[in-house]
Amino acid sequence: MEAQTLSPGLLHGIEYSAPPLAERVWVGVKRHAISLMLDEREVYTFDPSGRLWMAFIDGVNYKRGLDGRMVCKWITPDGARRLRGLTTEEADIVLRWAHQMALQATGAYPDGADPICRQYLERACEWDVQAHHRDARRFLQIYKPVSILPPDQYLAVVLQVTEGCHWNRCTFCDFYRDRRFAIKTPDELREHIARVQDYFGDTLRLRNRIFLADANALVAPQRILVPLLQIVRDTFPIEPTDLTGEELNRWRERHPVRFQGMYSFIDAFTGYRKSVQELRELQQLGVRRVYIGVETGCEPLLRFLRKPQSNEEVLQLVDALKEAGISVGIIVLLGAGGDRYAEAHVRETVALLNRLPWSKGDILYFSELIEPYAGEYTQLAQEAGIRPLTPEQMGRQRQEMEGSLHLPPGVQRATYDIREFVY
Ligand code: SF4
C-alpha cells in the first residue's frame, strides 16, 4: 500500500524511520481520522479522539464499531471475498496490537517534527484495551444496539427517535427482535440527544448526516413526528436546499457544524400512510432520503417472507416521496425464496423497479440473503423444501436484474452487505 493512497484530504503528515518497529513509519492526520502506517504491511486508523476505527494487518482488514463489535474481511488466494465477525478475545488482540504500535511509533517520533501529528498519535496511545471497553459500555448506555444502517449512512449521527420495528415479523429479519417498538417523547428525545452530543464531543462535527433510527422512525403519526424532528432540527443545523451561491456560503459560514439532512428507513405498508403534504413537511424539516426494504416485486414471495406490503403500496409511496422532493434508497433482497422463487423474483422485481419514478440522487441496493442471520426464514425455507441460492447464484441474480433495468443517469447501484455493518 502506498503512502499516497492514504493522502487524500491529508491535513498533516510525517514519514520517519523507526527500526525495529518498521523501516518507514508514516503518520497522517485528516479531518476524520489519524492513520499510522508501518512499512507497507500494517495500517491503523484511529478516530480523532484516538479510538481504533480500522486496521489492516497481514492482508486482513478490521473495522471496529463504537459498541466494540469488530468485523474483518480478506481475499483468499483464489480471489474469493471472505468476511466474519470477531470474538471479544480476537478483537482485544487487535486493539492491544494497535495500541502497542501507537506507543512504539510515538516513542520513535523524531524530536522537533510536526507537533500536530505527534499530538494526534499521543491520543491513540491513551486508548488501551480497557479504555475501548469502557467506551463501548458507555455507548451502550446511550443507545439500544444500532442493528443496521444503509451503507451510505455508516458515518451518520444516529438518533434513536423510535426504538425497534413496529412490525417485527418479517421472517428473514431479526434485527429488532430484542426490543419493543417505542416512540420517544419530546423529553426523552432531548435527553437522548444531549447524551449523544456528550458522547461524541468534538467528533460530532465529523459526521455530516443525521440518521433517524430504528427500523421505521417515520411511522410515527405526523402530530407526534413533527415536534420530534423539530427538536432534531433545532439542535443540528441542516443545510437548506433553497439557497445557492453567496447566500449558501454565508449560511455555511454561520454554521461551521452542519448536516446535509436527516435520513431514515420507511416502510411501504404502514397502516398510517403519509400524504404528499405531510411528506413535504418532513422534507422541509430536513428529511433528504429514505430507505425502503422492497425486497422483491414477487408478491407471493413477500407473503412467504411475511412482509405485508404490495407493489402498489411501494409505487404509491415512492410517487408521494418524489412529489415531496425526498430521494429514495431501494433495497432488493437477492436470494430471497431460494430456487423456488428465483425466476419470479428476478422477473417481477425488475418489473416493479422499472415502474418506479427514479431520479438523480436515488440508490438501488442489492443485499444478499445471509442465511445464518436470517432468523425464522431458514427453518421455514427448509420445511418448504426450498434450496438456498449460492453466493454465485445470487451474483447472477443481480446481473440478470441489472441487465433488464432502465434506470436514469444519476441513480447509483450498490452492494448492501449486512455482515460488514458496524456503527
Ligand atoms: S425487514 Fe423491516 S419491517 Fe420487516 S421486521 Fe425487519 S425491520 Fe421490521
Mean pLDDT confidence for 356-369: 97
Residue 216 has pLDDT above 60, yes or no: yes
Ligand 1 pocket list (CB less than 6 A): 165, 167-170, 173, 175-176, 215, 267, 293, 307
The residue whose CA has the least distance to atom 6 of ligand 1 is: 173
Judge contact between 174 and 226, C-beta under 8 A.
Answer: no
* Least confident segment among 26-40, 55-69, 306-320: 26-40
| Cell numbers that stand for 312 in this block | 402498489
Output the CA–CA distances (angstroms, integers) from residue 139 to 99, 117, 136, 219, in the order listed. 20, 27, 5, 26
CA of 170 to the centre of ligand 1 (A): 6
Please report, rounded to a whole number, the percentage of residues in the chain having pLDDT higher than 70: 97
Q: Which atom of ligand 1 is nearest to the CA of 173?
A: 6
State the pLDDT at residue 101: 95
Of residues 32 and 325, the one with the higher pLDDT is 325
Distance 241 CA to ligand 1 centre (A): 31
Protein residue closest via CA to atom 7 of ligand 1: 215
- Residue 4 has what pLDDT? 46
pLDDT value, residue 19: 86
Answer yes or no: is pLDDT of 5 > 90: no
Q: Which three cell numbers stand for residue 332?
A: 432488493
List domains and CATH numbers for the chain: 3-134 (no CATH), 143-420 (3.80.30.20)
User: Using CA atoms, how far apart are residues 67 and 373, in angstroms rounded to an integer?
Assistant: 19
At residue 153, the 3 state secondary structure works out as helix
Helix (H, G, I), strand (E, B) or coil at 371: helix
User: Residue 374 above 80 pLDDT?
Assistant: no
Does the structure show a pLDDT above 90 at 306?
yes
- Residue 143 scores a pLDDT above 50: yes
What is the reported pLDDT for 120?
Answer: 93
Residue 3 has pLDDT above 80, yes or no: no
When pLDDT is averaged across residues 74-86 and rounded to a whole number, the result is: 92
For ligand 1, atom 2: residue with the closest CA: 215
Exposure b/e, 112-130, CB count within 10 A at least 16 = b: eeeeebbebbebbbebebe
Mean pLDDT of 276-281: 97
pTM assigned to the model: 0.92
pLDDT at 75 over 50: yes
Between the CA of 215 and the centroid of ligand 1 the distance, in Å, is 7
Helix (H) or strand (E) holding 89: helix 88-107
Could you tell me if 57 and 415 are in contact, meaning their C-beta atoms sit under 8 angstroms apart?
A: no
DSSP-assigned states of every residue in 330-353: EEEEETTTHHHHHHHHHHHHHHHH
Ligand 1 pocket test target in 176, 332, 333, 365 with most atoms within 8 Å of CB: 176
Distance 307 CA to ligand 1 centre (A): 8
Cβ count near 19 (within 10 Å) = 9
Q: How many angstroms is it from 379 CA to the middle of ligand 1?
A: 18
pLDDT digits (tens, 9 = 90+) for 160-180: 999 999 999 999 999 999 999
> Mean pLDDT score of the chain, rounded to an integer?
94
Q: Which atom of ligand 1 is nearest to the CA of 166?
A: 8
Closest ligand 1 atom, CA of 172?
1
Burial of 28 (0-12, 13-18, 19+ CB in 10 A): buried
Q: Return d(Cα 277, Cα 232) in angstroms, integer.
A: 20
Question: Which tops the pLDDT comparison, 4 or 224?
Answer: 224
pLDDT in tens, 191-204: 999 999 999 998 88
Pocket test for ligand 1, best of 147, 165, 270, 296 (most atoms within 8 A of CB): 165
Query: Which residue's CA is the nearest one to ligand 1's atom 4?
Result: 170
CB atoms within 10 A of CB 205: 15
* Ligand 1 atom index nearest CA of 176: 7
Q: Is 335 left (phi over 0), alpha (psi -120 to 50) or beta?
A: left
What is the per-residue pLDDT for 1? 44
Q: Which of 190, 188, 271 is nearest to 236 (CA)?
A: 190
Mutation probe of ligand 1 site: the residue of 148, 169, 173 with most atoms within 8 A of C-beta: 173
Band (373; pLDDT cuts 50, 70, 90): low
Please give the backbone phi and psi of residue 414, each rounded to the nearest 5 degrees, phi first: -150, 165
CB 299 within 8 A of CB 309: no
DSSP string, 103-138: HHHHHTPPTTS-HHHHHHHHHHHT--HHHHHHHHHH
From ligand 1's centre to the CA of 306, what distance in Å? 10
Of 210, 251, 250, 247, nearest to 231 (Cα)?
Answer: 210
